């Protein structure tokens, strides 16, 4: 805006200089013509020769002056106003042949003001022309953006207000910080660990699954010191990352200390460079005045050919996400031991694990980290392969806002693709949300890295919440875009298994042949 105002001011100054120059040329021309005419009429010859000589001289002077004025006028008229203006350095009357003419480019005119006194008081100063500014009309998109920003600001303010009240209340009840570890994963060279510090009563069992409403009301304890051990070896050199953002390995960001400090939401996202053998290790975290808490750490071999990325809601666990009120009830109020599994999906995952024994299972979901224990208990109760979870942070304060489900999954997909560059992935999701579009984007973004896609199709009752009759004829599912990857669909795990398993068996045989030939 400042740059535009400066340009407009410069154009106004140039216009004023042009007007002054043209006014000066006209004034001098009239003055010269009047002087020449007056001199011709009053001149008296003393003799015939003198009269002849004096008569020719004014004519020559008048002719030369008129020629000079015409040349000055030609210079002024022929130079485009957009590029430059030619100004004489002295008055036309006193100018001689050696007097230079100054060419002033429009782009290099300084901010000057010319007054009537500088012009000798002989001409008035013209008024500058006003420049009209075009005001862009606001569109519906602008109005929607304002409403969206206002809503985001309101939600962020309410969230901060609730945290202030809950933190004050927790301290009044003599609650003090504890740490809650989440399942981590890593390669043979580095590991990724996530934990969170929370306020809790003295006898709290934070490793026990509870109803979602209690887990959603957990009070974060920010900026707490956390001590971490892996297989009873203190972890002192770590790289502290940011939640919801892919952090590549960067030795320049490593920090060495006996402890790490959680962020303003209580989260601690760590990347530790150290060598560990493939398999399951134990990560122990603790804070002061609390007993240590253990969590598994899965180290995946570098030569593992296949990995599985699976959604949770409506892919392996019945949540009915398209129906908001049912999804909210299932997540917040339903007992974690009463959650229902999608028929046949645990059998499908077990058979995939049998085909690829070393394959890791990553549960990538838009559910919040608050319900991690609830999902972990569900996976254990229904016999799904265990594995690390990549959930979402619902705190809107540290970043612009809560990331969308698509952005969240694409961010973690990039992290997994970069962490395991030699691994191909099998993607499982459902058509109740945007999994088909998200997985198609992943397949196009990383060609050759997606082995197969399995999409569980929701029934009409699941997609509409039981209101089938009033919504008949409407397609509430998300179709799968065209991709160069085999896509297998079905209402249950059994239906997907019928077409998907033969393809995966064929790939496993070819991979085994390639491995034996290499050896």
- Pick from 181-195, 273-287, 394-408: least confident: 394-408
Q: Give yes or no: residues 332 and 365 share one domain.
A: yes
**Which range in 82-91, 292-301, 471-480 is most confidently predicted, on average pLDDT?**
292-301
pLDDT at residue number 83:
46
pLDDT at residue number 67:
45
- pLDDT of residue 320 exceeding 50: yes
pLDDT at residue number 127:
54
pLDDT at residue number 32:
58
- For residue 154, being part of any structural domain is answered with no
| Percent of residues, the chain, with pLDDT higher than 90 | 39
H or E segment and range at residue 308: strand 306-310
pLDDT band at 309 (very low <50, low <70, confident <90, very high): very high
State whether residue 366 is helix, strand or coil.
strand
- pLDDT of residue 310 exceeding 60: yes
pLDDT at residue number 19:
76
| Percent of residues, the chain, with pLDDT higher than 70 | 68
pLDDT at residue number 18:
75
Q: Give yes or no: residues 430 and 479 share one domain.
A: yes
pLDDT at residue number 210:
73
Kindly provide the b/e burial profile for residues 350-372, where b requires at least 16 CB atoms within 10 angstroms of the residue's own CB: eebeeebeebbbbbbbbbbbbbb
Mean pLDDT of the 321-350 span: 79
Q: Give yes or no: residues 383 and 416 share one domain.
A: yes
CA 397 to the chain's CA centroid:
15
H or E segment and range at residue 7: helix 2-42
Q: What digits encode the pLDDT tens for the residues 364-392? A: 988 888 888 889 989 999 999 999 999 98
More confident call, 316 vs 31: 316
> Domains in the chain: how many in total?
2
Q: Give yes or no: residues 314 and 272 share one domain.
A: no
- pLDDT of residue 476 exceeding 80: no
- Pick from 132-141, 149-158, 383-392: least confident: 132-141
**Which range in 47-51, 75-79, 467-471 is most confidently predicted, on average pLDDT?**
467-471
Contact 493, 347 (CB under 8 A): yes
How many CB atoms are located within 10 Å of the residue 507 CB? 19
pLDDT at residue number 211:
73
Indicate the DSSP class of residue 127. Answer: P
Mean pLDDT of the 81-93 span: 46
- For residue 372, being part of any structural domain is answered with yes
- Pick from 69-78, 377-386, 428-437: least confident: 69-78
Contact 384, 375 (CB under 8 A): no
Indicate the DSSP class of residue 305. Answer: -
- For residue 36, being part of any structural domain is answered with no
H or E segment and range at residue 226: strand 225-230
HSE toward the beta carbon, residue 301, CA cutoff 13 A: 10
Mean pLDDT of the 171-186 span: 93
- For residue 115, being part of any structural domain is answered with no
How many whole angstroms separate alpha carbon 381 and alpha carbon 337?
8
Q: Give yes or no: residues 480 and 370 share one domain.
A: yes
- For residue 55, being part of any structural domain is answered with no
Residue where a domain stops, chosen among 299, 317, 334: 299
Q: Which two tokens stand for residue 507?
A: 């790939």
How many CB atoms are located within 10 Å of the residue 384 CB? 23
pLDDT at residue number 505:
94
Q: Give yes or no: residues 239 and 210 share one domain.
A: yes
- For residue 220, being part of any structural domain is answered with yes
Q: Give yes or no: residues 347 and 495 share one domain.
A: yes
pLDDT at residue number 467:
55
Beta-ladder partners of 368: 392
CA 46 to the chain's CA centroid:
94
Beta-ladder partners of 194: 182, 269
pLDDT band at 3 (very low <50, low <70, confident <90, very high): low
State whether residue 172 is helix, strand or coil.
helix
How many CB atoms are located within 10 Å of the residue 204 CB? 14
pLDDT at residue number 265:
86
Q: Which two tokens stand for residue 193?
A: 């660990």
Contact 226, 260 (CB under 8 A): yes
- For residue 53, being part of any structural domain is answered with no
Contact 194, 267 (CB under 8 A): yes
Q: Which two tokens stand for residue 266?
A: 């209580």
Q: Give yes or no: residues 317 and 276 share one domain.
A: no
pLDDT at residue number 130:
55
Q: What is the CATH number of the domain that holds 293?
A: 2.60.40.10
pLDDT band at 519 (very low <50, low <70, confident <90, very high): low
Q: Give yes or no: residues 485 and 368 share one domain.
A: yes
Residue where a domain stops, chosen among 299, 328, 354: 299
More confident call, 497 vs 53: 497
- For residue 5, being part of any structural domain is answered with no
Mean predicted lDDT score pLDDT of the chain: 77
Q: Give yes or no: residues 345 and 279 share one domain.
A: no
Q: Give yes or no: residues 312 and 286 share one domain.
A: no
Q: What is the CATH number of the domain that holds 436?
A: 3.40.50.1000
Contact 406, 434 (CB under 8 A): yes
Domain span at 267: 177-299
Residue where a domain stops, chosen among 280, 299, 318: 299
Q: What digits encode the pLDDT tens for the residues 250-279? A: 888 888 889 999 988 899 999 998 899 999
pLDDT band at 433 (very low <50, low <70, confident <90, very high): confident
pLDDT at residue number 475:
47
Q: Give yes or no: residues 315 and 277 share one domain.
A: no
More confident call, 315 vs 42: 315
């Amino acid at each position: 805006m400042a740059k535009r105002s400066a340009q407009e001011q410069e154009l106004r100054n140039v216009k004023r200089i042009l007007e002054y120059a043209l006014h000066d040329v006209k004034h001098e021309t009239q003055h010269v013509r009047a002087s020449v005419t007056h001199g011709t009429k009053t001149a008296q010859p003393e003799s015939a020769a003198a009269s002849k000589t004096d008569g020719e001289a004014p004519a020559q002077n008048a002719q030369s002056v008129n020629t000079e004025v015409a040349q000055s006028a030609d210079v002024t008229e022929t130079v485009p106003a957009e590029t430059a203006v030619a100004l004489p350095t002295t008055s036309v009357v006193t100018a001689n042949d050696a007097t230079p003419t100054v060419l002033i480019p429009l782009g290099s005119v300084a901010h000057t003001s010319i007054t009537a006194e500088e012009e000798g008081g002989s001409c008035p100063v013209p008024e500058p022309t006003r420049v009209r500014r075009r005001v862009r009309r606001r569109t519906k998109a602008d109005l929607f953006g304002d409403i969206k920003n206002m809503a985001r600001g309101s939600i962020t303010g309410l969230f901060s207000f609730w945290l202030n009240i809950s933190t004050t209340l927790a301290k009044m009840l003599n609650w003090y910080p504890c740490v809650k570890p989440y399942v981590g994963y890593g390669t043979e060279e580095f590991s990724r660990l996530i934990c969170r510090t929370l306020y809790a009563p003295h006898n709290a069992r934070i490793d026990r699954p509870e109803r979602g409403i209690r887990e959603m009301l957990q009070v974060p304890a920010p900026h707490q010191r956390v001590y971490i051990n892996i297989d009873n070896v203190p972890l002192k050199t770590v790289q502290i990352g940011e939640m919801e953002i892919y952090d590549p390995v960067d030795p320049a960001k490593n920090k060495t200390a006996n402890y790490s400090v959680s962020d303003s939401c209580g989260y601690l996202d760590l990347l530790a460079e150290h060598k560990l053998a493939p398999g399951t290790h134990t990560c122990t975290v603790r804070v002061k005045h609390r007993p240590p808490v253990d969590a598994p750490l899965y180290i995946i071999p570098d030569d593992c050919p296949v990995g599985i990325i699976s959604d949770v809601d409506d892919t392996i666990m019945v949540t009915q996400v398209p129906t908001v009120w049912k999804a909210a009830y299932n997540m917040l109020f339903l007992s974690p031991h009463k959650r229902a599994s999608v028929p046949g999906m645990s059998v499908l995952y077990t058979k995939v694990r049998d085909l690829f024994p070393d394959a890791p299972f990553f549960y990538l979901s838009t559910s919040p980290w608050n319900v991690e224990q609830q999902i972990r208990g569900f996976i254990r109760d229904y016999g799904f392969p265990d594995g690390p979870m990549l959930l979402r942070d619902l705190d809107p304060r540290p970043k612009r806002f809560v990331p969308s489900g698509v952005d969240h999954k694409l961010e973690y997909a990039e992290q997994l693709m970069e962490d395991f560059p030699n691994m191909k992935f099998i993607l499982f999701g459902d058509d109740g949300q945007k999994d088909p579009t998200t997985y198609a984007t992943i397949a196009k973004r990383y060609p050759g890295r997606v082995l197969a896609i399995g999409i569980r199709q929701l029934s009409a009752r699941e997609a509409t919440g039981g209101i089938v009759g009033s919504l008949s004829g409407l397609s509430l599912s998300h179709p799968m875009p065209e991709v160069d990857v085999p896509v297998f669909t079905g209402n249950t795990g059994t239906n997907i298994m019928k077409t998907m398993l033969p393809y995966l068996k064929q790939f496993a045989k070819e991979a085994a042949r390639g491995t034996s030939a290499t050896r």
